[in-house]
Chain A
């Protein structure tokens, strides 16, 4: 099975993140840039499918120069090669234009299965999988906590408010995964060394038949007008339990009328 995994580089969600004051885009300079966490689960799932059914795993990233680091990191887990859509005109793209570019790239890669994270930790818009499927005219199975492959039939289980759903489709398809699906492997030393030699193809916009005016800030379908930091919550009373902590807690709840 020919699998393409979408990987996005994002600012680490475990530390403070900021938007730039000049153009309201993500401040990548001050951030610790990492692979979007959910995408690691997508990579792991792709590798498991390859191990069971054979085939090839390709990483596809759209992002600035420094996204190369995340591509190498992704490759060190085990995928075969990578494609990097890289073009200065892409800066400031919205989700709609991002899906246009990624679907154009996918159009050249002939994937039976496109795997991606259910959402990115920065934008968190959770819309790319369905946007890509809509553009490519293929099925989307989203939010998978379990994926089974039986020949060309894909079946996922996904959690809902009420319980869970079982959904099925034939390849080609886009499948997005939650972090409940597997446990991503750590790159081995051998994997890290091998990743340095794996092919990474750089694709400029021109090769995708997408005009610069259709993407980036120029082509964006929405705009950020302004942003501000929310004032941090201030802390209140802190007591140390010396035998009466529970009682003190209830006294607080009583003054706030919760008991």
Chain B
């Protein structure tokens, strides 16, 4: 989403990138940031900055914003980006818009709300446009620049040390692509029946080089881990191809996948609402349809 933000920012002025992280964080990113038009990189690097929950980062940003008076501030619309933006808004007594998918030169933002059913145009009316940008909203466009790097001095005041990160646990990632970035997502719902049967979903995903997703009912029933949930309280995905297996298509599930380019559904209930948005639907038993699909794909290879 960083490259998307740089692309959006170029519509408002000359973008600078701010890198908040451990020592060396900016160095590793500068080439890529330059490729997408960052004229300047502010590097706030410290051993401590990642040791506490977001507050130190908000403090650094607030000082920087006060000093350089930018035309706008863009952050990623994910948990951490929204949290930093929240504190920044209070520190600067500034408006904030979240889940922004487009930003005009005059600061007018487009937000998609209510499970994707409503499009809103909005504007920050106090302070500068402070927005968080939803990933996969625009296509990043390169525009080469040679960024100058400015190191910021970071000191973490006691007031920013209230919430201490005691452990970060990386969970093993398989070989499948990241759910929110995958160009193909195959999801299973309650209709998959049990955890073991998710192998049918995984097999089809692997054949198509895709990621695996799940409905909340499947997650709540323990068929698949929560981090793969698609929908209002899970991930929002927007792949080229979304395949829903044994998913009824509740509004809250649709909220997370209805901007997918092409949607395919397999469900034994012909009246299931998922068919209302499917480009191609098969009314049938997924345990018959999916193996045949897999077989047929293999045959065509």
| A in complex with B | yes
Interface residues of A, Cβ cutoff 8 Å to B: 13-19, 24, 37-38, 94-96, 99, 121-122, 124-131, 133-135, 137-143, 145, 155, 159-170, 173, 178-180, 220-230, 232-233, 235-241, 244-250, 252-254, 256, 258-259
A94-B95, A99-B90 given as contacts; is B162 within 8 A of A173 (CB)? yes
Judging by beta carbons under 8 Å apart, are B90 and A96 in contact? yes
Do A237 and B288 have beta carbons less than 8 Å apart? Answer: no
6 interchain residue pairs of minimum CB distance: A246-B292, A241-B284, A221-B95, A127-B86, A139-B162, A163-B171
B contacts with A: majority SS:
mixed
Provide the bound-state CA to CA distance between A178 and B126, in Å: 31
A126/B79 in contact, CB under 8 A: yes
Besides A163-B168, A239-B283, A245-B283, 8 new A-B residue pairs in contact (Cβ under 8 A), listed by A number: A14-B251, A124-B113, A134-B58, A160-B168, A227-B118, A245-B284, A246-B294, A253-B241
Contact pick for B53, options A38, A167, A230, A244, CB 8 Å = A167
8 A Cβ contacts from B73-104 to A: 78-79, 82-83, 85-87, 89-91, 93-99
Please give the distance in Å from A151's CB to the nearest CB on chain B.
Answer: 16
Tell me if B28 counts as interface (CB < 8 A to partner A). Answer: no
Output the least CB separation between B136 and chain A (Å). 14
B208 adjacent to A259 (CB under 8 Å): yes
| Residues on B with beta carbons closer than 8 Å to the beta carbon of A95 | 86, 89, 96
- Asked if B112 is at the interface (CB within 8 A of a chain A CB), the reply is yes
0/1 string, B262-281, CB within 8 A of A gives 1:
11101000100001111111
Question: Given the interface contacts A125-B98, A169-B164, does A227 sit within 8 Å of B208 by beta carbon?
Answer: no
A245-B288 contact, Cβ under 8 Å, with A221-B96, A258-B208: yes
If the complex has contacts A13-B232, A233-B276, are A143 and B168 also in contact, measured as CB distance less than 8 A?
no
B177 at the interface (CB under 8 A from A): no
In this complex, how many residues of chain B approach chain A with their Cβ under 8 Å: the count is 90
Which among A14, A141, A228 is the interface contact of B163 at CB below 8 angstroms?
A: A141
Among A17, A19, A124, A238, residue most surrounded by chain B Cβ atoms (within 10 Å): A124
Contact with A along B229-260 (1 / 0, CB 8 A): 00011000000110000000011100100100
Cβ contacts under 8 Å, B117 to chain A: 16-17, 229-230
Asked if B53 contacts A141 (CB within 8 A), the reply is yes
Enumerate chain B residues within 8 angstroms of A133, measured Cβ to Cβ. Answer: 162
B252 touches A162 (CB 8 A): no
Q: Say yes or no for B193: interface residue by CB 8 A criterion.
A: no
Are A131 and B281 in contact, with the CB atoms below 8 A?
A: no
CB of B143 to closest CB in A, whole Å: 27
Contact A165:B165 (CB < 8 A) given known A127-B96, A137-B159, A140-B53: yes
Query: B125 touching A96 by the CB < 8 A rule?
Result: no
CB distance from B273 to the nearest CB of A (A): 10
Residues of B contacting A143 in the complex (Cβ-Cβ under 8 angstroms): 79
Q: How far is the CB of B255 from chain A (nearest CB, A)?
A: 8
CB distance from B257 to the nearest CB of A (A): 11
Asked if B124 CB lies within 8 Å of chain A CBs, one says yes
Contact A245 B79 (CB under 8 A): no
Q: B94-133 interface mask toward A, CB cutoff 8 Å, 1 = contact, 0 = none? A: 1111110000000010001111111111111111000000
Residues of A within 8 A of B290 (CB): 246
Nearest residue in A to B116 (C-beta to C-beta)? A230
What residues of A have a CB within 8 angstroms of the CB of B293 in the complex?
Answer: 246-247, 249-250
Given contacts A142-B53, A223-B122, contact A96 B79 (CB under 8 A): no
